[in-house]
Amino acid sequence: MVGIPKSRPTTSSPGRAGRKRVTTQPEAGKGTLRVHAGDGHVVGVDIGASNLRVALADMDGKVLGKWSASTKATSSPAMVIEQIRTGVKYLLEQASVPRRSLLAVAAGAPGITDSDAGIVVATSYLRGWKDVPLRRLLGAALRVPVAVENDVRMAAIGENWRGAARGVGDFVFLAIGTGIAAGVFANGRLIRGEDFTAGEIGYMHVPGTPEEAAKHGAPGSLESVIGGEGVRQQWLRCCNGTGVGVSRDLSATEIFERATSGDELAEGVLNRSAKILAYTLYNVSLVLNCKLFVLGGGVGMSEPLRDSTCQFLQQFNEPVRPKLTISSLGEDAQLIGAIRLAMNTAESRIGLTVSG
Amino acid sequence: MASRIETEEGVVVDRTMTKERVLVGRPPLLRQTNAHILLRLLRESGPCSKADLVRASGLSAPSVTNVVAHLALAGLVEPIGEGDSTGGRPPDILRFRAERGCVAAVEIGPDFLGLLLADLDGREIGETRISLERSSSSPPEVCDQISETVRDLLRQQHYPDEQLLGLVVGVPAIVNVQEGIVRALSALKGWNNVPLGEMLAKGFKCPVTVENDTNLAAQGEYYRGAAKGEKDFVFITIGEGVGAGIFVNGSIYRGSQWTAGEIGYLRVPSVSREHPAIHKYGKIEKLLGAPGILKSWQSDRQRSRMHPKVKCAADVFDLAAAGNAEAKRLLRQRANLLADIVLDLALVLNPSVILLGGEVGNHPRLLQEVEELLKGSEYPIVRVGLSALGSSAVLWGAIHTALDPALLRLLQPSNLLA
């Protein structure tokens, strides 16, 4: 699944990195010309709410090194850019890759991202991030072409390339962590929408979610029940109801695990969450008629949640039953998607050089 | 992830992620591409000279002369006399011969057949509507009626059968468009997995396409209605049933098994759950569709003799607009449902606009109510509007679906070389 077919260098001299070369390929038949992407490298960046991760890869997508840093104390755009620059420099040195070999960078951000203009429009996860021209800033800092994308869509690109949705043109990547959002692939392309907010289903109303409108800036109605914090709140309410000495300080995943070992309180929380998730998946699959949902994010990857949700979906007896599968890339999905997008960016630059 | 690169030389490169497929601009393909461009310019600008076409297209004068000669051979352009001279020999004025052929649109309704005939410029040249008796609406009977009525229409307008260049049929059902199979049509008897495309193709020499009616209505709004220029929008129809046509990137999105937009089954908080079967209307459809609204009104009416009598669902909304309290309550309830649907669609797709159409959906009072409810939503408001084509949206969508492929076929290298 690589955009432009590449050939390996036929001679031992690597040639100048990044330069396009047109070589003839004997096995492809006489006179067949192919674009050679060279021996360049790309960088993928995942800007998370608490962690910044950077990965260096070659143009076959092989990861040569990873670097990460905390963004908890240093989340202003300027500081994050500086951190990325440090990470890139470190990775290039570690892998002995010359600076000029870097062809492109792609970065995923946890918020509404205008990927056409390269702007992070808004995010509630990083302080001070509003209308940040991330592409321009990163481009100026690293002096290479840059692509930016919303982190959930980035993860969807990753799953489509090397994960649970490999080669599937129509699927939904559903991330459930603190918040809930979906990356939607339709006919092999991402749906971004008019304001780049397609897939922001954390605000969806389904049976079981609060009917009253949430306050501005507060989590959406769906997130407030089955997002990580929502599940914990459900659990705490159950605990308060019984008054029995139970462990109150559990994560959503831990609560779901307890349900499988016969804890009735936890089972109640799991059932309620799974049923609401089933309604959500059902509604999304009615609109899009997609066959496959890939569940990701800290809460979404819980197996008990997936199994219980599947059971509810079966009870709905809907005409088209989507398949639920857990992300196979896990927390690396965004980073791998970023590498893929950076490779696309590098290749389209080479493509333009050829036709221009 | 396919990408098309069109360079000045007219070379079209089609790259996909999985396959390498490169289409190069050999002369016949270039001629077809250029003919398509010149024809579009001629259709848009009206009669003009070759010099105008050279200026507008950027092609060389010999290229334009060459392509125009081929278009004339194909019967698609003709000179209509001399224009005003600007000094030299007066230029020949060319015109698009829209009467070179025609396309037909058919809408199969629950109790009617609608037909529309249009020339190659998409202008109406004939239409008719016949009622469909439930007793004689089996697939073969409907096919016969379609063939007969289309032929009658062609004869009336003096078009020989072979000038019909495309037929598109809209049905209120899930359709496998690729194979022309109507999966389940609940409004008519005996319509399960009907190979309608194949059946109709026996009676016509032109290509036949079968498509879901709501998808066609969305096409209609896109080409000549309220969604002109909108590449990502949703058209919701509320009439006998409820459905949505989804446009993504300038074309209809049908989903993995042709059922995208079947929103009649959505689970929203205001509706209790009920198991839907594919042949039955969903719960939302039962409430929001015209029969549901009428049913609610009638049962209220039995309780209170004060209720005025109504003929159709839109009458109830008219009463609400006139201040009737019961009608206002009913309208509010239905608007609540619709607002939930609109929100779901907006969250998943973030379209530039969501259009409401159909007998119930096209009511301005319903739109007003939905807009008010959406203002109270925590989520940024989506633009909602009314269909511009009303009950003719399906037929016009079918005409436009038929037109472009018909023109492209006329411009096929083999036809142009003739």
Same fold, A41-157+342-355 and A164-328: yes
Q: Are B352 and B230 in contact (CB under 8 A)?
A: yes
Asked if B257 lies within 8 A of A193 by C-beta distance, the reply is: no
What are phi and psi for residue B371, nearest 5 degrees? -60, -40
CATH code at A41-157+342-355:
3.30.420.40
Asked if B18 lies within 8 A of A205 by C-beta distance, the reply is: no
What is the spatial distance between Cα A287 and Cα B242, in angstroms, rounded to a whole number?
Answer: 12
DSSP letter assigned to residue B1: -
pLDDT tens profile A140-168: 999 999 999 999 999 999 999 999 999 99
A210 touches chain B (CB under 8 A): no
pLDDT tens profile A42-53: 999 999 888 999
Check residue A35 and give its pLDDT. 47
DSSP letter assigned to residue A215: P
Q: How many other CB atoms are found less than 10 A from the CB of residue A130?
A: 13
What is the spatial distance between Cα A287 and Cα A170, in angstroms, rounded to a whole number?
Answer: 12
The region, left, alpha or beta by phi > 0 then psi within -120 to 50, assigned to residue B261 is: left
pLDDT tens profile B39-82: 999 998 899 999 999 999 999 999 999 999 989 988 999 998 87
Please return the burial class of A351, using the count of CB atoms within 10 Å of its CB with bins 0-12, 13-18 and 19+. Answer: buried
The residue of chain A nearest to residue B274, with distances taken between CA atoms, is A316
Which residues in chain A are closer than 8 Å to B242, comparing Cβ atoms?
none
Characterize B2-21 residue by residue with b for buried, 16 or more Cβ atoms within 10 angstroms of its Cβ, and e for exposed. eeeeeeeeebbbebebeeee
Q: What does the pLDDT average to over B372-384?
A: 83
Q: What is the pTM of this model?
A: 0.87
Asked if A197 lies within 8 A of B262 by C-beta distance, the reply is: no
B203 CB-side CA count, 13 A: 17
The residue of chain A nearest to residue B13, with distances taken between CA atoms, is A355
For chain B, which domains are there?
A: 3-96 (1.10.10.10), 100-218 (3.30.420.40), 226-387 (3.30.420.40)
* Predicted confidence band of residue B415 (pLDDT cuts 50, 70, 90): low
Which residues in chain A are closer than 8 Å to B265, comparing Cβ atoms?
286, 318-319
Residue of A170, A203, A209 with shortest CB distance to B347: A203
Dihedral of CA atoms B195, B200, B205, B209 in degrees, nearest 10, equals: -60
Give domain limits for chain A: 41-157+342-355, 164-328
- Fold entry, domain A164-328: Nucleotidyltransferase; domain 5 (3.30.420)
Dihedral of CA atoms B54, B56, B58, B64 in degrees, nearest 10, equals: -30
Residues belonging to chain A: 356
What are phi and psi for residue A180, nearest 5 degrees? -130, 130
pLDDT tens profile B226-284: 999 999 999 999 998 899 999 999 999 999 889 999 898 888 876 644 444 443 446 78
Q: Are B64 and B53 in contact (CB under 8 A)?
A: yes
Asked if B352 lies within 8 A of A286 by C-beta distance, the reply is: no
- Inter-CA distances, B324 with B147, B329, B339, Å: 47, 9, 22
B260 touches chain A (CB under 8 A): yes
Residue of B256, B345, B347 with shortest CB distance to A170: B256
B24 touches chain A (CB under 8 A): no
The residue of chain B nearest to residue A200, with distances taken between CA atoms, is B347
Q: Which of A224, A286, A352 to mutate to test the interface with B (most CBs of B within 10 A)?
A: A286
- Give the B window 346-385 contacts with A, CB below 8 Å: 347-352, 376-380
Asked if A279 lies within 8 A of B20 by C-beta distance, the reply is: no
Asked if A193 lies within 8 A of B261 by C-beta distance, the reply is: no
